[in-house]
Structure 1
Amino acid sequence: MNKNIFIEKLFQRAKELKIEEFEVYYISGENTSLKIFNGKVDSFSDNTNQGISFRGKFHGKMGYSYSESFDEEDVNFLINEAKENASIIENTDEQIIFGEKCDYRETETYSEDLDNIKIEEIKEFLFKMEDYVKSLDKRIKNVNNCAFVIGKGERIIKNSKGIDLRDIGNFAYTVISVSVSDGSKIKTDYDFKIGKRFSDFDYKKLGDKVVKKALSKLDVVNVSLNNKLCVIENTTLASLIGSMLGNFYAESVQKGVSKLKGKLNDTIANENVTLIDDPFLKDGYSNSSFDAEGVPTEYKEIIKNGVLKTYLYNLKTAKKDGVKSTGNASKSGFKGTIGTSCYNLYLKNGDASLEKLFEELGEGVFVTSFAGLHSGLNSISGDFSLAGEGFYIKDGKLSKALNQITIAGNFYNLLEDIIKIGNDLKFDSSGIGCPSVLVKGLNIETDTKN
């Protein structure tokens, strides 16, 4: 059955049964992925999935159900399943269905250009990128990954309180990784590009960058450094912020597992730090006019000039604190329950070039990656001790690569110890963006072994 007809039937049946409150949530996804290796297609997938969830209030308790099928009999199944689940729920937290009259700000989520890309065009792009990368230097031993992905998704939220919302979004993503060797050591690196138009993707520009990054790791210097200053590269800092993001969610604060509890309107970072969540960002990867509960999204400065201004809320956590939702409710899929997430989260650009950051550092480390964030970072205390990669900065200039480095510190102290912010804002593949930053106070050890 067509999804729109099914939703209407489900909605009407719920009304006929006089269910107190109810909501229909539909989500679909399409994903086309192509990967090549050594001039041949290594893998190709073209997947489509969709599902629908129903939640309704029965005798004051909210019950949930879901289905991937859209047959006539699934209408009654969803309602009966939700009713049965409501009868056995012991959780006393109030579940809220949103119904306020609101204005929704329009934002760009969909690019028709991506719908017009042909598979043959993607193949040609990837073959050219692989061939081009291999031609750049004889020290290139392998192109490990050369892939292109196009994703598309649709959401529908309709409830008994008058909410009837729909949106559709898409994106494209390409990644390339290489291995290089000088005969004594092997190094790898990768780069990626996310875009809304096929013209956004320049295989030569991407290829030049990833090869330059990988080859630069072959020229290694062994040096012992005691300087606690360092520059952290944009996407490297983004990965650290992403691992600590849950501490800004109201749910974590309310459960007492976030050190930000009781810190609203307190200074928690250097005054040059402004952390923004923007669902309306131009060419944003995660734009949206409404969240998973139908609440309008909003631009918000979570940290403004070093001061913590807000937590991120959904309806349930907002009610507990007696505030309005910030429009950050999320669902991991049609089967998921309501949680919290951000949209385009980023640290606001500064005005210093990367070269200027190096000059101010003088001598020290340019940290270009963290490893082991899942094990070397305590996401509650913020303490971390991480292996990483980086380069020696000598006399304010980028010098040679360093052997493995270890960086230890505390995330919350790091926010306070950001001395200067660069102007090279870049988003990582998870939709978190940062510029590079000059930081003090970290404990950095370099491997001086040959």
Structure 2
Amino acid sequence: MSAQPDGAELLALAERVVALAAGDEQVEAVVVRDLGTEIKVYEGEIESLSSAQSQGIGIRVIKGGRQGFAYAGTLDVDVAAETLAEARDNAGFGTVDEFAGLAEPDGVAPAELPLWSDALASFPAERKVALALELERAVRGADPRISGIESAEYVDSMSEAAIVTTTGIRAYSRDTGCYVSTYAMAEQDGEVQTGFGFSVGRDPAELDVDRAATDAAERATRMLGATKPRSERLTVVLDPWVTAQFLGILAFTLNGESVLKGRSLFADRLGEEVASPLVTLVDDPTDIRAFTATEIDGEGLATRRNVLIDGGRLERFVHNAYTARRAGTVSTGSAVRGFKSTPGVGCMATSLVPGSQGQAELVRLAGEGVLVQEVAGLHSGVNPVSGDFSTGAEGLRIRGGELAEPVREFTIASTLQKMLRDVVAVGNDLQWLPMPAAGVSLVITDVTVSGA
């Protein structure tokens, strides 16, 4: 995939479409091109190798409060003109909405972020395969108890997008990203446990295969001999991987669309103390460490650092142009979309502001509790309206401030509201993951652990 530094080709197509706007209609053209590779290996051989490119244009037309949308999976100029005509036709059947309208320039300049790597763009397929094979070998050699590997893979993506509107937006962005990940299986006395490891980067040179392998082996082997704990109320230390998933759930409740539709427990709570003073939650797609960092949002506005919870106080919901109008506020540069859809709204790179202590220190602080290293069914186990929280988990018992025996097949339960208030420490071990959230060790008191 070759991309010109200024995105001339994609911008030219978008501008050509927008120039066809008639009368007082608003027209938006979003042109996207993606290329991704996924390689899986098994026992020293390639199990699967796929390389897929997608490209297309999405067109919105808004006139008289009616919105029409259409898309095509090609960058052909004639097809783009036909797609514009289809979007116009669809607008004629739309319902009048007083808040309908495209985003308008807001004076915030997009950050210039080094998100594109020519090294990845020119990295040959055989070297990608070699990384996946190296990962598999490293996992097998990490511990004699490793009996097999459930998966070992290399994944990358290269994306570019141009957005042009009749309201004056003309934006382009591109980014690359890659990661290696693995699930290892450890066996002892007929018992098998699994553990995962990964490493992310903008290009392959940033990937740490040994770390991914070591993490997977350690997570698997330390769960050998796990038993079901007895039920009690305990302090839990969430592993960064678990915290990142927790933040993903929390981010949904701070989504302007969820709030407007009554699907958030935080609706009507702006300005209130909703969490421990130790909790400062930020959504910052301009942080280049984030796997999902981007310079512009799905409507072409500059992304920006949005502080959602500041020292426990709920400060902001994220919005796109439409939800902002309905809420009587301004866009936070948080529109999310592909070329096949109209803009949604969501957090893109959520993280907690780290504390000053590492995980070992937090375990000592917990005294008696559980280190939760993995959860199951988290999304189905959380109600974003009531805040009820219940999920299956596994991890290590904490006794006397030290990690002790492994435990599994238990449930941790509370509410999002209570868990946020009961945060007593935030770790300094911030980890950016291949997802729209970063992880950090997090200590939460008085959580119900239901086991035997």
Q: TM-score, normalised by structure 2?
A: 0.93
Judge conservation of contact 2:198–2:211 (CA < 8 Å) in 1: no
Counterpart residue identity of residue 407, structure 2: L
Secondary structure class of the residue paired with 2:290: coil
Cross-structure match for 1:182 = 188
Pairing 1:378-393 to 2, within 5 Å after superposition: 378-393=383-398
Counterpart residue identity of residue 436, structure 1: S
Deviation at 1:177, TM superposition (A): 0.9
Pairing 1:420-431 to 2, within 5 Å after superposition: 420-431=425-436
The answer as to 2:31 corresponding to 1:26 is yes
Judge conservation of contact 2:248–2:436 (CA < 8 Å) in 1: no
Counterpart residue identity of residue 116, structure 2: Y
Cα distance in 2, alignment partners of residues 188 and 83 from structure 1: 53
Task: Indicate how the Cα distance of structure 1 residues 75 and 126 shifts in structure 2: closer, same or farther if over 3 A, else same.
Answer: closer
1:396 to 397, 401, 407: 401
Cross-structure match for 2:48 = 43
Secondary structure class of the residue paired with 1:424: coil
Q: Which is worse superposed, 97-106 or 182-191?
A: 97-106
Pairing 1:78-227 to 2, within 5 Å after superposition: 78-100=83-105, 102=107, 103-220=109-226, 224=230, 226-227=232-233
Q: Percent identity?
A: 26
2:340 to 335, 342, 351: 335
Task: Indicate how the Cα distance of structure 1 residues 9 and 423 shifts in structure 2: closer, same or farther if over 3 A, else same.
Answer: closer
Counterpart residue identity of residue 154, structure 1: E
Work out the number of aligned pairs and report it: 443
1:376 to 352, 377, 381: 381
Cα distance in 1, alignment partners of residues 295 and 13 from structure 2: 24
Cα distance in 1, alignment partners of residues 92 and 33 from structure 2: 29
Judge conservation of contact 1:302–1:311 (CA < 8 Å) in 2: yes
Deviation at 1:279, TM superposition (A): 1.8
**Structure 1: 5+ residue stretches without partners:** none
Task: Indicate how the Cα distance of structure 1 residues 82 and 383 shifts in structure 2: closer, same or farther if over 3 A, else same.
Answer: same
Secondary structure class of the residue paired with 1:404: strand
Q: Which is worse superposed, 25-34 or 99-108?
A: 99-108
Deviation at 1:115, TM superposition (A): 1.7
Cross-structure match for 1:250 = 256
Deviation at 1:178, TM superposition (A): 1.1
**Structure 2: 5+ residue stretches without partners:** 1-8
Deviation at 1:350, TM superposition (A): 0.7
Task: Indicate how the Cα distance of structure 1 residues 54 and 282 shifts in structure 2: closer, same or farther if over 3 A, else same.
Answer: closer
Q: TM-score, normalised by structure 1?
A: 0.93
Q: Tell me the alpha carbon deviations over residues 138-192 of structure 1, each in whole angstroms, 9 at most, x when there is no partner.
A: 3222111111011011110011122211111110011111111113311111111
Task: Indicate how the Cα distance of structure 1 residues 10 and 19 shifts in structure 2: closer, same or farther if over 3 A, else same.
Answer: farther
Judge conservation of contact 1:302–1:310 (CA < 8 Å) in 2: yes
The answer as to 2:49 corresponding to 1:63 is no
RMSD: 1.9
Secondary structure class of the residue paired with 2:446: coil
The answer as to 2:294 corresponding to 1:288 is yes
Cross-structure match for 2:326 = 320
Q: Which is worse superposed, 424-433 or 3-12?
A: 3-12
Judge conservation of contact 2:26–2:167 (CA < 8 Å) in 1: yes
Cross-structure match for 1:418 = 423
1:358 to 335, 358, 363: 363
Pairing 1:68-79 to 2, within 5 Å after superposition: 68-79=73-84
Judge conservation of contact 2:195–2:218 (CA < 8 Å) in 1: no
Task: Indicate how the Cα distance of structure 1 residues 19 and 77 shifts in structure 2: closer, same or farther if over 3 A, else same.
Answer: farther
